[in-house]
Amino acid sequence: MNRHQRPFAIITLIAALMLACSFSMQLTDPTATPQPPATLSPTSAPTDPPAPADTATAVFTPLPTIAPMPTQAEPPALQIVSQPIYIESASPYYVIEGSRPLMQNAGTAGDTFNTLVQQILDEQVNSFTTNLADIEEWRAENMPGMASTMHFDYSLLYNDNGIVSILINLDVYVAGAAHPSPFSITLNFDLTRGRDLALADLFTPGADYLGRIANLCKADLSTREYIDYLTGADPTLENYRSWNITPDGLLITFDAYQVAPYAAGPQTVLIEYSQLNDLIHQTSPLHNIPR
């Protein structure tokens, strides 16, 4: 390049540099207000939320069903039921009817009780029918249409604390007699011991229980009408063969003719347990009865 051309080239270079600077200033004006970054307009469709991360979910597992243990049925309670009895015979001519106590649901003790009741009744029936055989010929000739009869029933006076007390009432009529003959038999059965109780079983050994009972009975009987035979209440086992345990006291039964005439009927005296407290043994069947 010659010397005439160099100044022009310099001028051209300077002009180009100035033009470039001017263009750069227009692109990035330092005085311009910065614009916020672009955002979605309200009408823009929202983006789907991010998928939740996989988390463990608690699953309830029910407890296994436990089959209930089978409940054992309670054994049936002891019962005393009535068993009707009817016997008729043409020769000798008699009718026997009544109801006897029958113990149920009491195991071996119940069997023993039922056997004892049967023995008592069998003894009375045998005695009755044997006597009739002796007078059958006379009856057939003199009273052909009249039968001899035996009737019996019972009262359950106590059934608690392992004690069953029965009063059996019998009424016997022999054809040709003026009137029937009533009498009683008692049974005080101890289920624990499995036997009939004696009166002495209630009291301390050696205690004068018969004397106490006799005095109390005589004091009561002496206040009544038609008591003609107080000797029938003297302190002997025979006089006090008919006794019963009851909730309220010891019941003493005197059969017809024992302390009073037939017309007055049998007599009974109830002795409260409190009147016998000092004589009752600690192991007595009466010990568990409120008194």
pLDDT of residue 5: 46
Confidence of residue 76 (pLDDT cuts 50, 70, 90): confident
| Residue 179 predicted with pLDDT over 70 | yes
Lowest-pLDDT range of 34-38, 91-95, 181-185: 34-38
pLDDT of residue 223: 97
Q: Enumerate the CATH 3.30.565.40 domain ranges in the chain, comma separated.
A: 78-197
Decide which of 3.10.20.310, 3.40.630.10, 3.90.640.20, 3.40.50.150 is the CATH code for 199-285: 3.90.640.20
Check residues 26 and 144 and name the one with the higher pLDDT: 144
Domain 78-197 indexed as CATH 3.30.565.40 = yes
pLDDT of residue 37: 42
Q: Are strands 93-104 and 148-160 parallel, antiparallel or unpaired?
A: parallel
| Residue 291 predicted with pLDDT over 90 | no
Beta bridge partners of 99: 84
Q: Which residue has the tokens 């089959």?
A: 67
| Residue 58 predicted with pLDDT over 60 | no
Statement: the pTM of the whole predicted model exceeds 0.85:
no
| Residue 27 predicted with pLDDT over 50 | no
Confidence of residue 287 (pLDDT cuts 50, 70, 90): confident
Q: What is the mean pLDDT of the chain?
A: 84
Contacts 24+ apart (CB under 8 A), 164-172: 164/80, 164/103, 164/113, 164/188, 164/189, 164/191, 165/189, 165/244, 165/245, 165/246, 166/80, 166/101, 166/117, 166/244, 167/242, 167/244, 167/251, 167/253, 168/100, 168/120, 170/98, 170/124, 172/128
pLDDT of residue 22: 46
Q: Enumerate the CATH 3.90.640.20 domain ranges in the chain, comma separated.
A: 199-285
The tokens for 271 are 């002795």
Q: Which residue has the tokens 């101890």?
A: 190
Contact 257, 181 (CB under 8 A): no
